[in-house]
A and B are shown apart, each in its own frame.
Chain A
Amino acid sequence: MSLSIAEKSYLFDSLSSAQALRPDGRLPYQFRPIEIYTDFLPSSNGSSRIIASDGSECIISVKSKVVDHTVEKDLVQVDIDIAGERDDSILVESITSLFNKIIDTIDVSKLQLTQKYSFKIYIDVLVLSTYSYPVSLISFGIYSALNSTYLPKLISSFDDLEVEELPTFHDYDLVKLDVSPPLIFVLAIVGDNIFIDPAFNESKVANNGLIISWSQGKVIAPVRTMALNNTYVKGFKPSLVQEGIDLVNKYGQDIVNALV
């Protein structure tokens, strides 16, 4: 799928004008409709399937393992697979690196079982199809998957420093995992305008992209710029960064409310 020069020029002009008009009539802060299904993988602790209106789709599975947290420091690990991309391609590796950085902002004390042991969470992401930069979709999927994750209930004692025993779990009782995973918003900058959730055609004419992370009501790091195409890339007004952050601060909570 590619756009002609005339199509791109039309899109750029309408998106960069003072009264910006998005091709699908959305407001600058409006998302495209998404469908989310959760808890559909029987062998995972939590799972989700997220489908964007353009047909981008991604499935996420959350699995857990009991580890000694004095040995294993890294308690959450994200692994991303994108259909049609090699595992070591620059796209896959940089998205994986971004998610492993942002997932480190999760409060890992929620995963602690006993004084010695913790759950280690493995988040496996498979992007089945994607038409624009998929980080927003993936982060929404991870959010829903973690919010539908149930882990076995601990029945042995918390204090196990002195005793040599492994944690034991209840046969069928499960506890809901209570972490508040951060979200990632992708914003496209076209001219002096900024838009949340750029679609494929909007990404193709964006002068630059902003990746903004959000957690518990406020914007957090990592924040970075990212070229969304290789033809229209150029610099932009520095004040647009703060504008984007303010936009996410203002509408982030509404978007999260819509997710659950």
Chain B
Amino acid sequence: MNVQDRRRILGPAGAKPLVFANAEAKEDKTVKEETQLNKNLSISLQRGIISNANGSSIVETSGISLLTSVYGPRSTRSMSFEPRATLNIILQSNKFDTSNLKEISNFLISVLQCCVCLEKYPKSGIDLFINFNIEDEDELVQYIPIMIMSCMIALMDADIEVSDIIGGLTIDHTAVCLGQNGDQLLGLWKDPSSDEQDALVLNETIAKCQEQYSSSRQQLIEFISNC
């Protein structure tokens, strides 16, 4: 057997022949919960949907649906020994241009690196794919909290160790990601907006996010401790 040969698309491990009749019945496996967000916006969380991914999640709220899947830890083809895992996030949406999406995924990688225990997975790579469908186009920054939430659920569903459940909030076009009960800032994202004030003061925005942090994280904690 030759090396190139192994690049074929192999069937998934333990593949079974196609059975169409029962395709819908299998969806029962998923755990589903509806909780109320503080803005009276209902949000639906599900996990374990994608059968060939290590972990997956669907987060749905009005007008937006996010499907996140986690693959790995799996081998990378890096030639040098890496003592830690490499985290990679790929955002997919047909509504935004790719460079914008890559900038956001770069930011999400920065944030998630703070909580995923990469040192527990040497020599490997963890890939997250976020597909999102939205009805009306808004600024991408509005979706950062929900992206983080779906990544966290998918990572926990894949049983990848994370040292903290982090949360994000978006207030006045500023996304703030917090950890350790809101004491630590993990990520901040502010884009230029039309209503630019004279001096940029972010202290207040961060303080507001810290206040709302625990309530926004609560629904995620409830969801994962119930299932």
Contacts and interface: CB of A to CB of B under 8 A. Distances in A.
Contacts of A186: none
- The 5 A-B pairs at the shortest CB distance, nearest first, are namely A235-B184, A227-B110, A94-B103, A93-B102, A97-B103
Contacts of A91: 106
Interface residues of B, number: 42
Interface of B: 84, 86-87, 98-100, 102-103, 105-107, 109-111, 113-114, 118, 173, 178-180, 183-193, 196, 198-203, 206-207, 210
Given A94-B107, A100-B99, A235-B180, 12 more contacts: A208-B110, A221-B173, A221-B196, A223-B200, A223-B202, A224-B107, A225-B111, A235-B186, A238-B185, A240-B185, A241-B206, A242-B203
A4 to B, nearest CB: 12
Contact of A222 (B109, B192, B198): B192
Contacts of A53: none
A219 B199 contact: yes
A100 B103 CA distance: 12
Contacts of A73: none
A242 B193 CA distance: 19
B200 A235 contact: no
A93 B107 CA distance: 12
Contacts of A221: 173, 190-193, 196, 200
Contacts of B114: 233-235
Contacts of B183: 237-238
A218 to B, nearest CB: 6
A207 B146 CA distance: 24
A127 to B, nearest CB: 16
A101 B202 CA distance: 19
A109 interface: no
**Which among B86, B87, B187, B201 has the highest number of chain A CB atoms within 10 Å?**
B187
B100 A225 contact: no
Interface in A89-143: 90-91, 93-94, 96-98, 100-102, 104-105
23 contacts: A93-B98, A97-B100, A98-B103, A100-B99, A101-B192, A208-B186, A218-B200, A219-B199, A222-B189, A222-B190, A222-B192, A223-B200, A224-B187, A224-B189, A225-B107, A227-B110, A230-B86, A235-B114, A235-B178, A238-B184, A238-B207, A240-B185, A249-B199
A105 B193 CA distance: 9
A66 B196 CA distance: 29
A90 B102 contact: yes
A96 B100 CA distance: 9
A51 interface: no
Contacts of A37: none
A102 B107 CA distance: 17
Interface in A62-101: 88, 90-91, 93-94, 96-98, 100-101
Nearest to A80: B99
Nearest to B83: A231
B179 A235 contact: yes
A40 interface: no
Nearest to A223: B190
Given A220-B196, A224-B107, A239 B203 contact: yes
Contacts of B86: 230
A227 B185 contact: no
B82 to A, nearest CB: 9
